[in-house]
Amino acid sequence: MISKKLQQHSANLRSNKAFEMFVVGIIVTSALLVGAKTYDMHPAVEQFVQWLDYLVTLIFLTEITIRFLGEPEKRKFFKDAWNVFDASIVLVSLLPIENSDMALVARLVRIFRVLRMISTITELRMLINSIFKAMPQLGYVVLLVFIIFYIYAAMGSTLFATINPALWGDVSISMLTLFRVMTFEAWVDVMYETMEVYPLSWTFYLSFIFLTAFTFLNMLIGIVVNVMNDEHRKVYLKKSGHKHEPTIEDLYRKIEAIEAHMARAAEQSRKPDE
């Protein structure tokens, strides 16, 4: 049974800003070690980097243990997806598979340790959570974009296949060409080629760009921003202890309570004089 004193010390340590910054520094060091291993190094330097990697893994294990010990209800620790992700990355890093057939997996896991930056920094974690929560709404927008892509691809294949089969030969190739147009990758060359046969084909490209690159992209950004605002509001309510966001009625009630308190204080101050 973990003593309350140990749990309190662990909880204080994991919420300490200096400890959080230390962990962030270790994650950055881990990322630099992953990059260093892609270069040709002297055997002595390579051995030093390997020992540093072992030290980073040990620190990660210690940090996960502290976070686990600092959790009052241990079952809740594994209900957090970020805790499960961090623990999985650390545990796989501990497996002795560096010199086996699974060495590639070990290297990939060490690369993914950089993602621990997201679980450590609250703002990054909130951003990722917002993106995941926005997925259902984003899915409908993506479906609508696919429909627009398909319609324009069918039109482009019908109109321009004889001009350049490499770009407009069928629907699938046309969709790739339209993606090039949407990302503005030398799209004017594609447009001028078709305008030599169909002078008004510029309307095809401009309307597609306005629908996809401008309209739908702004819709995607708007959805993510709205979800992020909701997440920030929830964090604020959680920190402030409110069950819901303060309203005008709440403000009026607080003002009335302050006025009543001031009136009672003024009445009590007059009684001794009387």
pLDDT digits (tens, 9 = 90+) for 247-266: 666 666 777 778 777 777 76
User: Does a structural domain hold residue 260?
Assistant: no
Output the domain CATH number for residue 38. 1.20.120.350
> What pLDDT does 209 receive?
92
User: Does a structural domain hold residue 266?
Assistant: no
> What pLDDT does 6 receive?
75
pLDDT digits (tens, 9 = 90+) for 149-198: 999 999 999 999 999 999 999 999 999 999 999 988 889 999 999 999 99
Give mean pLDDT, residues 36-62.
85
The residue range of the domain holding 169 is: 125-243
Instruction: Tell me, yes or no, whether 179 and 194 share the same domain.
Output: yes
Provide DSSP, the chain. Answer: ---HHHHHHHHHHHT-HHHHHHHHHHHHHHHHHHHHTTS---HHHHHHHHHHHHHHHHHHHHHHHHHHHT-SSHHHHTTSHHHHHHHHHHHHHHSS-TTSTTHHHHHHHHHHGGGHHHHHSHHHHHHHHHHHHHHHHHHHHHHHHHHHHHHHHHHHHHHHTTT-HHHHSSHHHHHHHHHHHHTTSSHHHHHHHHHTT-GGGHHHHHHHHIIIIIIIHHHHHHHHHHHHHHHHHHHHHHHHT-SS---HHHHHHHHHHHHHHHHHHHHHHHTTT-
Instruction: Tell me, yes or no, whether 116 and 179 share the same domain.
Output: no
pLDDT digits (tens, 9 = 90+) for 119-128: 777 777 777 7
Domain count within the chain: 2
Instruction: Tell me, yes or no, whether 108 and 203 share the same domain.
Output: no
User: Does a structural domain hold residue 270?
Assistant: no
What's the chain's average pLDDT?
Answer: 80
Q: Which residue has the higher pLDDT, 6 or 188?
A: 188
Instruction: Tell me, yes or no, whether 8 and 101 share the same domain.
Output: yes
User: Does a structural domain hold residue 31?
Assistant: yes
pLDDT digits (tens, 9 = 90+) for 54-109: 888 888 888 888 888 877 777 777 777 778 888 887 877 777 656 656 666 667 77
> What pLDDT does 235 receive?
64
Give mean pLDDT, residues 25-52.
84
pLDDT digits (tens, 9 = 90+) for 186-239: 899 999 999 999 999 999 999 999 988 888 878 888 887 887 777 767 766 666
Instruction: Tell me, yes or no, whether 114 and 132 share the same domain.
Output: no
Instruction: Tell me, yes or no, whether 57 and 138 share the same domain.
Output: no
> What pLDDT does 174 receive?
94
